[in-house]
Amino acid sequence: MGMLADKVVLITGAGRGIGRDFALHCAAAGAAVVVNDLGVTADGSAAEGSPAEQVVEEIRAGGGRAVANHGSVASPGDAEAMVRQAVDVFGQLDGVINNAGILRDRIFHKMSIEEWDIVINVHLNGCFYVSRAAADHFREREGGSFVHMTSASGLVGNFGQANYSAAKLGIVALSKSIALDMGRFNVRSNCIAPFAWTRMTNTIPARNEAEIARVRRLQQMTPDKIAPMAVYLLADAAHDVNAQVFGVRNNEIFLLNQPRPVRSIHRGEGWTPETIAEHAIPALKSSFMDLARSPDVWSWDPV
């Protein structure tokens, strides 16, 4: 019996890359899987077969249970239909992995409104729509687990990803809110920041030596390394793990911090703009966050 025996899991963006490995690992752990994938090219311009159906066939060939779903996470109606399909076909829903995503990288002052909106809609709104659709079912069953994909781009930062970074850091706050609001119903919500080379990260530009070196490091990290953490977070074994953010990079697992006060300064008579400039900022400056990017923080090669 696997860790997810008798459970039903909905995984968005599960036709390729990390999502595909999530689906295969969850099925191998005993779960019935709703494999969601819109089935379009990386730039979203055209349909590209049915990767969801292919993953379902792989799972069934291995003796597992699975069904395909081709809805868009950016549609509230489609999100509700995913949850309804899980319940109609398998009788219940126990876990959700919010994995679907796209990239529309552009330096900030050249980013279009359309590039901003579509990334926010897929990542942040999509995460909300699917989670909200599952929330009532989880509450009625008094149990469930959400696993959301965040990113080092949101947690730390990267060039040319204002849309993606904003969405991914927003997902961390959304996950914490779900954990706070739904903990009374035994519903857990955690995040994973995955480091892996996939079709989506294949769109990351590499225009200079530093960017080329970063891409080479990413290419060493395969999607299947991320899946065990997701399976664990969906399992009953993780019953006391809630509102956390984990990073998974090759064979490394990180527990990532969340914003907390770093340093404080007090002035009994209150502050003026002048005393802030003269006193507060010089005292606090040594604790300022720098302009590090993700490759600066994870500067060593994957192990």
Q: What's residue 277's pLDDT? A: 98
The torsion defined by the Cα of 194, 191, 53 and 215, in degrees rounded to 10, comes to -20
Per-residue pLDDT, 44: 64
For the chain, domains (ranges, CATH) are 8-258 (3.40.50.720)
Please enumerate in sequence order all residues whose Cβ is within 8 A of that of 7, keeping only pairs 6 or more positions apart, or say none. 30, 31, 32, 94, 95, 234, 235
Kindly tell me the burial class for residue 251, based on how many C-beta atoms sit within 10 Å of its own C-beta (0-12, 13-18, 19 or more). exposed
Q: What is residue 158's predicted lDDT score, i.e. its pLDDT? A: 94
**Is pLDDT at 57 greater than 70 in this prediction?**
yes
103-113 confidence digits (pLDDT tens): 999 999 999 99
- Band the pLDDT of 203: cuts 50, 70, 90: low
According to the model, what pLDDT value does residue 295 have?
85
Residue 47 pLDDT: 62
Q: Are 168 and 123 in contact (CB under 8 A)?
A: yes
164 is catalytic: yes
**How confident is the prediction for the chain on average, in pLDDT?**
93
Q: What is the pTM of this model?
A: 0.92
Quote the pLDDT of residue 200. 57
State the pLDDT confidence band at 133, using cuts at 50, 70 and 90.
very high
Reduce the DSSP state of residue 42 to 3 states and report it. Answer: coil
The arithmetic mean of pLDDT across residues 119-135, rounded, is 98
Residue 201, pLDDT above cutoff 80:
no
Q: How many CB atoms lie within 10 A of CB 181?
A: 13
Per-residue model confidence (pLDDT) at position 210: 72
pLDDT at 202 over 60: no
- The enclosing H or E element of 78 equals helix 76-90
Predicted pLDDT of residue 260 = 95
Considering the candidates 128, 164, 197, 298, report the single residue annotated as catalytic: 164
Burial call 48-79: b when 16+ CB within 10 Å, e when fewer:
eeebbbbbbebbeeeebebbbbbbbbbbbebb
Which amino acid appears at position 240 of this protein?
D
Structure tokens that stand for 142 in this block: 């008094």
Give the tokens for residue 99.
């994995």
43 pLDDT more than 70: no
Supply φ then ψ for residue 289, to 5 degrees: -75, 140
Q: DSSP assignment, residue 145?
A: E
With tokens 């600066």, the residue in question is 296
For the stretch 16-27, pLDDT in tens is 999 999 999 999
Q: What is the pLDDT of residue 174?
A: 98
Higher-pLDDT residue of 303 and 175 is 175
pLDDT band for position 148 (50/70/90)?
Answer: very high
